[in-house]
Amino acid sequence: MAALKIKKGATSHSAYNLRPNFSDVIEKHTLAVLVENEPGALARVIGLFSGRGYNIDSLTVAEVDHTGHLSRITIVTSGTPQVIEQIKAQVGRIVPVHEVHDLTVEGASVERELAMFKVAGKGEQRVEALRLADIFRANVVDSTLESFVFEITGAPEKIDAFAELMRPLGLVEVARTGVAALARGA
């Protein structure tokens, strides 16, 4: 269960965290949602976002505790502070949701994403792609004489940067997993 422990932060049961901040600034927040691994659980969360007009920038989900039947959904969303608070409260009242954590405000956290890039090219372009991949610590997971598939893991910004560099070098296809995130510390 140690892997499931999320640092308890501002989202206690106290109403103090309901003190509003009605700013108009759009903020990006990463939410970690622990939900019972049952049919339709993901649909409930996604349906809430579409039904109430919230944004999903990225979303990942997988079972993280087989015996406890828990899945972890990591959602990157954006909105005003008021909307972010609403999202957390709305997700929190979905019956099979156990915990909602806003990793963006509850202390430091680490975020990682995995992506695969297919880059096709010949000659100098091909060599350059390989050289850059090396700098970004991307691995080659498939290769033909005219293409590579790179695998890269990192913060989303790093993956964005890698994508920008690959584009002129023959980038043909990208697959990204979306963000997985954990709070730092024990």
Structure tokens at 16: 């103090």
| Separation between Cα atoms, residue 161 and residue 157, nearest integer Å | 6
Q: How far is the CB of 13 from another protein (least distance, A)?
A: 5
- In angstroms, the CA 16 to CA 94 distance is 21
DSSP assignment letter at 11: -
93 vs 167, beta carbon nearer another protein: 93
Compute the least distance from the CB of residue 146 to another protein, in Å.
Answer: 42
Q: What are the beta bridge partners of residue 77? A: 29
The nearest distance, CB 41 to another protein, in angstroms, is: 11
Q: Which lies closer to another protein via its Cβ, residue 51 or residue 123?
A: 51
User: Following DSSP, what letter does each residue of 152-183 receive, concatenated?
Assistant: EEE-HHHHHHHHHHHGGGTEEEEEE---EEEE
> Of 37 and 181, which has the nearer Cβ to another protein?
37
DSSP class of 39? T
Residues that bind another protein (CB under 8 A): 13-16, 18-20, 22, 39-40, 43-44, 47, 51, 82, 85-86, 89-90, 92-96, 98
Closest distance to another protein from the beta carbon of 76 (Å):
21
